Chains A and B, each alone.
Chain A
Amino acid sequence: MKGFRALALIILWDVRKLGRYKFFLAMRFTWFLLQVLVFGLIVAHMVSIRGPYGLLDYYKFYVVGAYMAVLFSISIMRGHEIVEELEDGLIDYQLSLPIERRVLAIGRTLGGGISSFTYSMPMLAVIIMVLGVSSLTSILLLALVSFVFSSGLVGIAMSVALWLRSGDKLDILMGISDSLLVRLSTIFYPIVVLTPITIYYYLATINPVSHATDLLRIVSIPEYALGVTVSDSTIMASYILGFTITSILAAITLLERRIEGGYGR
């Protein structure tokens, strides 16, 4: 019971910081709107993709990808926050609290996931409107998948930040991983399109971003997603769940072991 209360407090601490980033949110929202209302509309006119059930509506396909790209970048940003907290001594303070390390790691991951998902909600509302998703079950499923995947990403960002413990190194790693993970996934193109470039195809197949994006597509636009997703929906859901659990475990391990004994540079 005590553990749950501590977990709730840690999550609440992360969620309470939401109001600080209104300008950051405004920028992300503008970026997203331009992607959806300008880039997506124009490129959809230029693209022609034939799936197993006929021509693909690329615009609808792309809109889901644009949302995932924003969710990805918002969640990964948490890594920078963790490094700043390390530098400011805030992590020291949190470690000194009468809270178990694993509870702290789980709380920070879930709190970060809730915050990141909350930031992405205006964008999620836009894609729900654009795609005309009217079923409550589908909307709740979209939210659930986004939250679970966002928590996994926050866990990874937190683990990398705790492992590197340097803002500079984190900058380069996050910059490169952002470039590669987003482009080598099914965010912008269906997996069938990647088959001519074998290495890209295999990398996109194992990339969790592909699984999360395609699962969102299965839920929101099943008529266009069938036959062009990276895998079966049950496998994709299990993959994302596995990814999130692994990333939380990694964050727990790093917080319990690597952070002990000081981390000053």
Chain B
Amino acid sequence: MKLSSLRYRALLGAALLGAATAATAATSLLNVSYDVAREFYKDYNAAFVKHWKATAGEDLDVKQSHGGSSKQARAVLDGLEADVVTMNQASDIDVLATRGKLVPPDWAKRLPDNAAPTTSTTVILVRKGNPKGIKDWPDLAKPGISVVIPNPKITGNGRYTYVAAWGSVLKAGGNADQARALVQKIFANVPVFDGGGRAATTTFAQRNIGDALATFESEVELIKAEFGDNFEVVYPKWSILAENPVSVVDKVVDKKGTRKQAEAYLKYLWSDEAQEIAAKHHLRPRAAAVLAKHAKEFPKISTFTIDEVFGGWTQAQKVHFDDGGVYDQILAAGKK
């Protein structure tokens, strides 16, 4: 029942957008993106439209669609005509290549930095004064500690946290068994598995549940702005480099004849202007000069990529997060 309603909504959305694009005279692009990128892309779109008018002399209309990253990927698979996709996990673009043949398999090679113009990292948010003395991932595994993590089965945020804790053990010279033991203990300390990053924030900040919240660095300033300065950020010694990849959807742009605009739209993400906007929205810029300028907001931290730890998202999903995978096993074991 739920499934069909979801699919039909996606189809309906596609139909409506199709009608809308046909009606407007100006060339329009649709950027299908993940949930919390709404504010960043709103600012970026304004900047790019101005830039495009100045350089190409064409009026452009950029529409946005936001939602859970994988949900958005499914909508594009089901026919939502996105010119570009901007996600927070490479696997959500990989799936467009493997399942829909909408993008070529080597999409990540077409732009610099793994086609990810911005990054973030997973950090630990604790209550003011850090009463439980949490300093690094192993502190979250201690008995009596309670940590809020969004559900890794349905959120990228939760998956990143899982990978961050796992990889931190490997980076410190530990083996896979030790990593598994640590992650098992951490997830046994989770009182609530929320269905989204923002829902987990509410649970921690507003419902006062948990000693710590694991979330993206880019979310921290928003949390402080929204719920007051009652929290402290703890940067673990090692964490995951969360890359936010982008790609043109080849099948759509070739059909609509918008490849030129779509490619320029993505390329401009690496411009200093765009990188500045990213920094303003607490996303780590790739441009070294811009990053250096904001060094205070983005402390240096040792990070690793998903490729180093699990050999990419596709592999991680298969081994760890699919039904019956390692994540399900440690959860079952942690309950005992």
Q: Do A and B bind each other?
A: no
Q: Spell out B's residues near A (CB within 8 Å).
A: none
